[in-house]
Amino acid sequence: MCPTGVDNIQACHAGILLDDFSPADLDDLLGYLQPELRGHSRRVGVCASLIAGYADTNLKPGDSPHGISYAAIAYIGGCCHDIGKLLIDDTDYKQHPSLGSRLLTKHSQTLFDNDVVAQMVIDVVSCHHEAPNGSGFPLHLAASNIPYLASICTLADWLDHHLYAAENSDVATVLCSLAESTGVLVFESVIDCFWQVHKEILEKYSFWSLQNPSII
């Protein structure tokens, strides 16, 4: 129940969990996700890491924290991207990126060994619904302010919704739709990288679709 006097449901849910919630580590935190969302998040992490592994040359090498690859950070970001949904109900859907980033920021010392990695993951979470044409949410960022790894996560998220979650998804139709959204949904270069690894990603989806339930 919301405390008396709190009339903003979003703030109420976030306030209660942010104040009372103390995850032991990242695995513990992700364990709080419902199985379906946990499966979605892990698949997004795997896809994002495959794309980021190919996209390394598009990322500034100087930004890469020593000892951890962009692919690894993309995986962690994908696993965490919807963590803000722990804090809200469906009516507050568009705030989940901001709430997720607040949750990770509050517990970053516990969840991450490296401050740079922590910030990159938090940026993925807060920006995974932003779009280069400014139509994204919740911040409506311009393309120049969207982190590259976040754009990779956006694509991986979109793919999972269309290749796994959507009923009657036809791969050819999905890929055609993706090609048409170049520059709108994600950076054009991210889609270029996807095409380089798309066979590997589609193979994983044909494997995952045989798994039951949606946890990989």
Binding site for Fe ion (CB under 5 A): 82, 157
Write the DSSP symbol of residue 17: H
* Cβ closest to Fe ion, residue 81 vs residue 198: 81
Q: 86 and 17 in contact (C-beta within 8 Å)?
A: yes
Cβ 208 to Fe ion shortest distance, Å? 15
> Minimal distance in Å, beta carbon 190 to Fe ion?
16
Helix, strand, or coil (residue 49): helix
Q: CB of 2 within 8 A of CB of 9?
A: yes
Q: Tokens 């607040």 appear where?
A: 102
Q: At what angle do helices 171-180 and 188-208 cross, to 10 degrees?
A: 170
Dihedral angle over CA of 108, 111, 115, 116, nearest 10:
-110
* Shorter beta-carbon distance to Fe ion: residue 20 or 90: 90
Paired with 182 in beta bridges are 186
Closest distance of CB 84 from Fe ion, Å = 8
- Comparison of 109 and 209: residue with beta carbon closer to Fe ion: 209
Q: Select 6 or 139, whichever has its Cβ closest to Fe ion.
A: 139
**Beta carbon of residue 96, minimum distance to Fe ion (angstroms, whole number):** 6
Collapsing DSSP to helix, strand or coil, 40 comes out as helix
Q: Which is nearer to Fe ion, 33 or 191 (CB)?
A: 33
Q: Minimum Å distance from CB 120 to Fe ion?
A: 17
CA angle 46/52/54 to nearest 5° reads 110
Backbone angles phi, psi at 186, to 5 degrees: -145, 175
